[in-house]
Structure 1
């Protein structure tokens, strides 16, 4: 089915025991895109994904999945990796992948053939007959991810896929996500690590407190903030100081301020004419993290950063 948006959601609401975990979420995930859902733990990301997939029903609003009003009808065209990883520890890697494909309608025989090829392509060919319990954590997570992809879905939904992975395996996963997108597959993933979304995503939704605070292109989020200027001068004072924006900070001969709407040229002229002595000048574009802070608030950003530090430790 040819659809402009692989996923659409309008006014999704979900309550648990009187607590509103998701409060009126709207989303539109373009077909063939990489779309990130950003937010701290407890923001409502997992609940939102589960409603989109039809694992749980919303208490309000509606959604479509690959053009279907009832997500279950599109289930065989979807690959889903939940946040809670789980494989049968006594099952061989090859059989685990084939089994996950069979749950989506792929014949076991074909699943085994594809599993062998996928394991070999990801450097795990020698592990195909090893049981899950004998694999490292990173290898086991790779096996589960391959099981999510083995039936060649049109849409892949990954809930915190980078959680618990070391830097090398995170890099490999990013590469695999790009490969799927290059093949025309839609990828939707949730994360509390903004760097992954900034590197991978074309569009993002920022969720905090069960609500979407922003949904759109990454560039659009970043462009909400003005670029910042870092200036180091040889002179500490002079008439040229009047050309610098009033809302500036200073540490010795280091000056920092937002780039004015008029651009940097008038300031440069004043610095040169006034003999400021420019030792260094850099114009820095705001990153997605800066945009997240501006959109969701510093408290939400601190909650995002804490799990990231724990993952590295």
Structure 2
């Protein structure tokens, strides 16, 4: 998908282009210590972010947390007051603007433009010839089930269709990096599912996708890595599994017996309940040694296992643990507001 871009990218400093993660995976974005104030108010306070090439990376946090300001600094739309950032190996984001697709949270299309022309126009802003953009615009609309709307004016489209057109305009020049600011906002469940599939296809083709969201479910389903942002700070950046592992997995155990030598294998703070039929329910954090030693002691002690399940924490629980309950409540309010719009 990105071969056509290789000849158009300007040469950069070799040292900059060599940026990579500790595992040797090149970085599409690297930022350290980004700070931004607006009229004396600290909006972003020392943000560090590293996005591997080809990843789906989510920036998760409530409205007003600093997500949009962070994205705009990464892209060079606004300059940080302090800190450094590297975009596709370049310290000046403008040098690689044609390799980036950006969908801002504030949507905007010319209402009198036809759908395919709007896509071509957006591509032209990133250096794509208009004739090529028109051909690709029609093709993209057809591929995404909107071929019938190609010649309709934007004002004649539903809100969801218009948002899809703007998204396709973000992708028409085949960027190496796609940045989406709250891309799911205003979409119904069907169109949200379509967008999730499109994001996965982009990543499968080697495109790096970074998106901001206040909806935890999207980040949990899509992302390899995330940054949690709250109050302008990033208290966590890393893998989704790493975030979830901040909270121990929960063991739910049901046994026939309530006493025996096997009880020593259960943590001291285990919760216990006896059912009406005499069976016993136990709930506790998974011990550090994992389930195998526990199972061995339960079996050897003849506990009479009826069921045993291990439940890992979800990303929502991890968000509460990392960012705090106030930030989590703000997320829930944001979801309710968006759902009512």
Q: What CA deviation, in whole Å up to 9, does each residue of 1:225-270 have, x standing for no partner?
A: 32110123445x4345554212233455433210112333454455
CA distance in 1 between counterparts of 2:84 and 2:187 reads: 34
Which residue matches 1:104?
A: 126
Q: Quick check: 1:203 aligned with 2:230?
A: no
CA distance in 2, matches of 1:25, 1:89: 37
**What residue number does 1:192 align with?**
214
For residues 7-37 of structure 1, the C-alpha deviation after alignment (integer angstroms, 9 at most, x for no partner) is: 1111100011221110001111112211111
The 1-side partners of 2:314 and 2:72 are apart by: 29
Gap runs ≥5 in structure 1: none
1:288 aligns with 2:315: yes
Unaligned ranges ≥5, structure 2: 1-10, 12-16, 19-25, 275-279
| Correspondence 1:203-282 to 2 at 5 A | 203-234=225-256, 237-239=258-260, 241-250=263-272, 252=274, 253-268=280-295, 271-272=298-299, 276-282=303-309
User: Which position in structure 2 is the counterpart of 1:6?
Assistant: 28
- Counterpart Cα distance in 2 of 1:73 and 1:266: 56
Q: Equivalent residue for 2:5?
A: none
How do 1:61-80 residues align onto structure 2 when only pairs under 5 Å count? Answer: 61-80=83-102
Looking at structure 2, the residues matched to 222 and 152 of structure 1 have their Cα atoms a distance apart, in angstroms, of 34
User: Partner residue of 1:19?
Assistant: 41
Query: What is the rounded CA distance, in whole Å, between the counterparts of 1:42 and 1:255 in structure 2?
Result: 41
Q: CA separation in 2, counterparts of 1:42 and 1:120?
A: 37
Correspondence 1:107-126 to 2 at 5 A: 107-126=129-148
1:48 shift after superposition:
0.3
Q: Counterparts of 2:155 and 2:337 in 1: how far apart (Å)?
A: 25
Distance in 1, matches of 2:120 and 2:140, equals 11
Alpha-carbon distance between aligned partners in 1 of 2:245 and 2:264, rounded to the nearest angstrom:
27
Alignment match of 1:302 (pick from 302, 324, 329): 329
> Is the CA contact (8 Å cut-off) linking 1:11 and 1:60 kept in structure 2?
yes
Classify 1:273/1:41 alpha carbon distance in 2 versus 1 (closer, same or farther; 3 Å). Answer: same
Which stretch of the first structure deviates more once superposed, 113-122 or 61-70? Answer: 61-70
Conserved 8 A contact 1:101-1:147: yes
Contact 1:83 1:160 in 2 (8 A): yes
How far apart are residue 127 of structure 1 and its match?
A: 0.2
Provide the aligned length of Structure 1 versus Structure 2: 312
1:65-100 CA-partner distances (Å, limit 9, x unpaired): 122222122111110000111111221111110111
| Structure 1 segment 168-179 matched on structure 2, within 5 A | 168-179=190-201
Q: Tell me, in whole angstroms, the C-alpha distance in 2 between the residues paired with 1:251 and 1:208.
A: 38
TM-score w.r.t. structure 1 length?
0.93
Q: Residue 281 of structure 1 aligns to a residue in which SS?
A: strand
Relative distance call for 1:33 and 1:262 in structure 2 (3 A) is closer
Per-residue CA distance 1:160-218 (angstroms, 9 max, x = gap): 11111111111110111111111111111111112211221111111111111111122
Q: 2:290 & 2:238 partners in 1: Cα distance?
A: 26
Counterpart in 2 of 1:87?
Answer: 109
RMSD: 2.0
Question: Contact 1:238/1:274 (CA < 8 Å) preserved in 2?
Answer: no
